[in-house]
Structure 1
Amino acid sequence: MPIPDFQTLMLPVLRLADAGEIKVADAVGRIADEFALTDQEREELLPSGRQAKIANRVHWSVTYLVKSGLVERPRRGYFAITPKGKSVLSSPPERIDIAFLSQFDGFDEFRTKANEDHPAEVEPTQDLAAGTPEERVEAAFEDLNAALREELLERILVMHPTAFEKLIVDLMLGMGYGANGSGERLGRTSDGGIDGVINEDVLGLDIIHLQAKRYATGNSIGVEKIREFAGALDERGATKGVFVTTSHFAPAAIQYAQRSPKRLILIDGEELTRLLVKYGVAVRGYRILELKKVDTDYFDEAEG
């Protein structure tokens, strides 16, 4: 089954607290057992890769229950039910969610303040609205990046061919290839289809050869183009090549590159835009949102 959203977990989390004070980390395991999550589901991470999704959702369920007054934090890392929480469980609803918690004093103020501090950048979908704050932020970030990559590809498709070849050289340099920034666009008819070279060492003893082809997204690069590229490498006595396209590669082309004794790397349009964004080539930052959390070490030292 899919991992339950954090609102679905609120009632089970409250029931756990009713049995006595419980450590949040233990609650994560108990909830995972209750919903019969697989090992893979228990280990599934948020897009940031910094926390397990189920742990994040349990933590936020606890936070929202605390803000509504149904549970409290008697000490760091633990939570326990309050008399108000026990009253709710004496006649339990079918589900506890944000709408249910809105009846309790202070909860709506908490939600309003949270929304003012972190305004939405995009219109949330129904699934996104059910996510934890981290999931909503990360999903919005992914949506913005997807739109950015789509715009990048549109602009690349109308670039002048020489500008596109230079873009690929700049990307390779931006990724850290090329000794002392040593790279050159070629792209002349006498260069046998090689559009650029990257020197991996200062003396140019190890060279990566580049070929860049702009195709509409619906057209694929067939195996014959990869064979031609491999032949151009042979003529230069080269063993390393990167073939970049704005479209995609046919399965036979991918198989040929994988079987080739040369080091042939194929980068399609989707991977190209991903790399441009990741390494900051042809894009620039325009806004930084810094998320902070409590420095528990500070308070531990203060208490000591």
Structure 2
Amino acid sequence: MTIPDYQALMLPVLKTASDGKEYKFSQLVEELADQFNLTTEERNELLPSGSQAIFTNRVGWARSYLKQADLLATPKRGFLRITQKGIELLSKDPIKIDISVLERYPEFIEFRNRKKDKNESLIEASGLESNLTPEDSLASAYNKLRSALEAEILSAIKDASPSFFERLVVDLLVKMGYGGSRQDAGKALGKSGDGGIDGIINEDRLGLDVIYIQAKRWEGVVGRPEIQKFAGALQGQRARKGVFITTSSFSKEAKEYASFIDTKIILIDGEQLSRLMAEHNVGVSIVGQYEVKKLDSDYFDNE
């Protein structure tokens, strides 16, 4: 049979998890493959990149979108379970679950809207626009994958321990060119604890200047008082530069305050943090690469 698309897999995924057990993702894939009576060839058929089985990839997308709608939860890495909302949806005996069903949930709408570019025409996450050129389609597909990855990164960061979060910040800053060696940077962060300052890291490998850091896993919006406290701590150290990193977001007042004070304070919220991690390959791995080629006119000009 034809390998089902990811939307056709949403209802089977949720039904499989309806017993309330925690399912390992690989176990879920095998159970669904059995339900659909997939052949060995169909189970092992790979994506064009050769990085993953098509069926596994599609089950992953179904799981990801169900999670964004809060119909599934991930109690621990690599596992999933159904939520109360998922149970309530199944109690209505739906014929199918697809993007149109997920759009009834504010959590999914928030996920979709969070990644939309306000300055360009929007491409719906349910599929690529039919009037796009191949290049546009490729770019849209890349952005869709990148947005999903960044959402997963941020979720993993929030589930991590405070000590791991500190190490994560060090890894990112070093990958971005700050702090000199990983060992030096690791010694700096988490050692100060002085009036709202979590650590100090070199701005460059020579240590010509330093940057003071506040790195906090935060649930609510970070307001102006927290930034004022950090600014005061910087002034107490006669510091000129600081970075405030959080897993949540900053209020409008906090951003305005940071923009007009003399001390340079950079605010990095959860979305920007996950974006920087993806950009600098921190906490992610490359599963496939594609090359887009064009005609070499110079080559043919010599004909």
**TM-score band, normalised by shorter chain:** 0.5 to 0.7
Give yes or no for contact 2:246–2:270 (8 Å, CA) kept in 1.
yes
Aligned partners of 2:291 and 2:284: how far apart in 1?
Answer: 20
Give yes or no for contact 2:49–2:289 (8 Å, CA) kept in 1.
no
Match of 2:185 in 1: 183
**2:207 maps to 1:197:** no
Q: Measured at CA, do residues 151 and 199 of structure 1 come closer, stay the same or move farther in structure 2, by a change above 3 Å?
A: same
Aligned partners of 1:276 and 1:156: how far apart in 2?
Answer: 11
After superposition, what is the alpha-carbon deviation per residue over 1:44-81, rounded to whole angstroms, capped at 9, x for unaligned? xxxxxxxxxxxxxxxxxxxxxxxxxxxxxxxxxxxxxx
Shifted more, 183-192 versus 281-290: the winner is 183-192
Aligned residue for 1:128, secondary structure, equals coil
Question: Whose Rg is larger?
Answer: 1
Match of 2:227 in 1: 226
Q: CA deviation at 1:140?
A: 0.6
Code of the aligned partner of 2:279: K
Q: Measured at CA, do residues 274 and 284 of structure 1 come closer, stay the same or move farther in structure 2, by a change above 3 Å?
A: same
Match of 2:248 in 1: 247
Aligned partners of 1:293 and 1:261: how far apart in 2?
Answer: 49
Aligned partners of 1:142 and 1:283: how far apart in 2?
Answer: 16
Give yes or no for contact 1:195–1:210 (8 Å, CA) kept in 2.
yes
Code of the aligned partner of 1:282: G
Code of the aligned partner of 1:154: S
Q: Measured at CA, do residues 126 and 192 of structure 1 come closer, stay the same or move farther in structure 2, by a change above 3 Å?
A: closer
Q: CA deviation at 1:192?
A: 2.7
Match of 1:147 in 2: 148
Match of 2:97 in 1: none
Q: CA deviation at 1:188?
A: 5.2
Q: Measured at CA, do residues 117 and 183 of structure 1 come closer, stay the same or move farther in structure 2, by a change above 3 Å?
A: closer
Q: Measured at CA, do residues 138 and 166 of structure 1 come closer, stay the same or move farther in structure 2, by a change above 3 Å?
A: same
Code of the aligned partner of 1:220: V
Q: Give the unaligned 5+ runs of structure 2.
A: 1-46, 62-124
**2:193 maps to 1:207:** no
Q: CA deviation at 1:231?
A: 1.6
After superposition, what is the alpha-carbon deviation per residue over 1:112-136, rounded to whole angstroms, capped at 9, x for unaligned? xxxx979999898565232111111
Aligned partners of 1:262 and 1:142: how far apart in 2?
Answer: 35
Code of the aligned partner of 1:266: L
Query: How is 1:100-179 mapped onto 2 (pairs within 5 angstroms)?
Result: 125=126, 128-179=129-180
Q: Measured at CA, do residues 178 and 117 of structure 1 come closer, stay the same or move farther in structure 2, by a change above 3 Å?
A: closer
Q: Give the unaligned 5+ runs of structure 1.
A: 1-115
Aligned residue for 2:288, secondary structure, equals coil
Match of 2:276 in 1: 275
Aligned partners of 2:280 and 2:247: how far apart in 1?
Answer: 18
Aligned partners of 1:233 and 1:132: how far apart in 2?
Answer: 51
Q: CA deviation at 1:274?
A: 1.1
Give yes or no for contact 1:187–1:193 (8 Å, CA) kept in 2.
no
Aligned partners of 2:127 and 2:274: how far apart in 1?
Answer: 28
Code of the aligned partner of 2:145: L
Give yes or no for contact 1:169–1:196 (8 Å, CA) kept in 2.
no
TM superposition score normalised by structure 1: 0.55
Code of the aligned partner of 1:129: S
Aligned partners of 1:268 and 1:248: how far apart in 2?
Answer: 5
Aligned partners of 2:148 and 2:207: how far apart in 1?
Answer: 38
Code of the aligned partner of 2:163: T
Query: How is 1:10-49 mapped onto 2 (pairs within 5 angstroms)?
Result: none
TM superposition score normalised by structure 2: 0.55
Aligned partners of 1:127 and 1:292: how far apart in 2?
Answer: 22
Q: CA deviation at 1:272?
A: 0.9
Aligned partners of 1:284 and 1:118: how far apart in 2?
Answer: 14
Code of the aligned partner of 1:244: I
Aligned partners of 1:127 and 1:277: how far apart in 2?
Answer: 23
Q: CA deviation at 1:190?
A: 4.1
CA RMSD between the two structures: 2.7
Tell me the percent identity: 44
Aligned partners of 2:144 and 2:181: how far apart in 1?
Answer: 35
Give yes or no for contact 2:202–2:208 (8 Å, CA) kept in 1.
yes
Code of the aligned partner of 2:286: G
Code of the aligned partner of 2:260: R
